[in-house]
Structure 1
Amino acid sequence: MNHPKSTITIHDIAAAAEVSISTVSLVLRDSPLVAKKTREKILAVIENLGYVYNRSAASMRSQRSGVIAMSINDLANPYFSGLTSSMERALNELDRTVLLSDVREDVVRQTRFIEKMREHNVDGLLICPAHATDAKQLMTQLKRANLPCVLVSRNLPGSGLDYAGYDHRAGMRLAVEHLIELGHTRIALLGGSRKTWVGGQRLEGYRQALKKHGIKRDATLEIEGPLNRSVGVNMIEHALALPNPPTAAACANDAIAFGVMLGLRRHGLEAGRDFSITGNDDVAECTLWEPALTTVASNVDLIGERAAELLLARIDNPDQPAQHINLPLHLVVRGSTCPPLK
């Protein structure tokens, strides 16, 4: 058959392969119901004819585009860039295409992106919400757009949305109890904000660990701030200038911890020798520092898979009860922690 490529249809493929139209359709939708030999024959005919699958037409018929939106709070943060990569990989393996926005902790950018996704007829949204996200406002927007959504890593209590993330409270307890077991009683909590859900969870974990071991809380050691290394440098400067300075610090993320290590060196001090530091997230850079950073580790590959699975289940069953997945965290002990100096 001599057809221009633009006019080739599944009827032509079926005729050339001597199979039914429905069998060709199953192959185009990557259904496992077609025998391997038949599939290979049809794929060979498709390649020979130069047929291009019209996904737009297919999505109009199925009311599904096969496209997933991802709104990420801050791709400059190595943890969130790794998480994004894991979610994209999981969705790709499930034959989904991704549209991505780095909203940079800006709720206005986040809102605009979600509105734009209505125009692109995306099937659903995976979102690591920006810090100031209002749960009710987000829910109103999602309902208006009729957009299935899963929160990833950061929960929004009261939203009623599915969530895939970690037990951040327990993770911080692990870090602080490790420092206490080494003999530290003056432990600073550096970075983050109690106004955010994750920051509040980590603050609770920090305080729970102190209380469990009979250590009196000192509010001057709870130092809030943005999650980057320059802030970490400033925080340790502030902490060391206190009348009764800490001997250890549990940091809200690894970037803060790296800044603390740099700040210590300005004072001739070294992590793992003169001062103990723990981080959170276990980004790849942790093992490259000297000493390597003790940190609370997460499995971003697994959370990417779980988030993708949750969203596809929500798309298929929009009325099912909300599900919350809290994966466990574990402490990776390296060289940045040590007993306090005598």
Structure 2
Amino acid sequence: MNLPLAPPLEPMLAKSVAALPIAPSMHYEPKWDGYRCIIFRDGDEVELASRGGKTLTRYFPEVIEQAREQLPRRIVVDGELVVIRRQAGRSRLDFDLLGQRIHPAASRVRLLAGQTPASFIAFDLLALGDEGLLDEAFTTRRERLAAATASLVAPMHLTPITTDAATAGRWFDMFEGAGLDGVIAKPAQLRYEPGKRSMFKVKHGRTADVVIAGFRWHKSGPVVGSLLLGLYDDAGVLQHVGVCASFTAARRAELVDELAPLRTTPAEHPWATGEQDSGQRVPGAPSRWSGGKNLEWQPLRPELVAEVAYDAMEGDRFRHTARFLRWRADRAPSSCRYDQLDRPVRFDVERVLAGDPTGLG
């Protein structure tokens, strides 16, 4: 490739803030829940670079094809790879399906490219032709990006944008139901600074009371690494919904003694049967993401309740690792049910991308 910028190139990142930043020069975009991806195209050569600098090219042949068909011949564009799932007349982002696209077998890659094709959503322009644009203001880069991608059609998209904070607030409330992750804020004069947290992001934050039903040992030794969390469904079945971790070294050691009275045998635990047999979500199932990681877990009688903070749900589990807040001795484990969770208003992701006036102001 002979472009002004070459891979690997770290993308510009965002710092978390508690509330939407409001300033006359601020621009707001939906925060897409997918894989960050910088596309480098030089004629027929196309490279998809991940946030960590690794190539994604072999996993998304359909995106390579679309980049050749729709993007300018010499361009470096920052964006997000997503998989859009359509079900019951609506569409939403599906991070689990996106994760399945990273597969070592070429035959599987080709199959999934047809069954669950990815879309690319562009949101910043880093180079065009022989011109590098990192030092240009964001407003200039956005104008150039809009012009360069004016003819894009699905599955290639240009992200919506607004300068109206009230509209951005509606996006934050509404678009979660389409699988979006929050809102990104960018100052008008922002240069593109690879690897630096120069943008702002506002994400959803919620709490839930959960059953502590097990734990895993920490890799450093015989101390607690993470707590396994459960919620009861409508049928009264305890489902594994995720983990909470990030304890200090001292706290990990204390938890060993605190949890000792609750330790039990796997055969006596509600998660004794696997999800293959009963449809019950249980911990410990291997996946290609776990690699050689030890997934063994220690069962606890489901008698302890904790309040945890989480950002979003992915199906029937927490999307990311939850954060421990406090013990809830006043709560009965049986009261820790799915119906306590705040479910976002359902919204169609394809309406977001199409600039639906009911959501985009």
What band does the TM-score fall into relative to the shorter chain?
A: under 0.3
The normalised TM-score by structure 1 is 0.25
TM-score by length of 2: 0.24
Higher relative contact order (CA 8 A, sep 6+): 2
Name which one, 1 or 2, has greater alpha-carbon Rg.
Answer: 1
Q: Higher helix proportion, which one?
A: 1
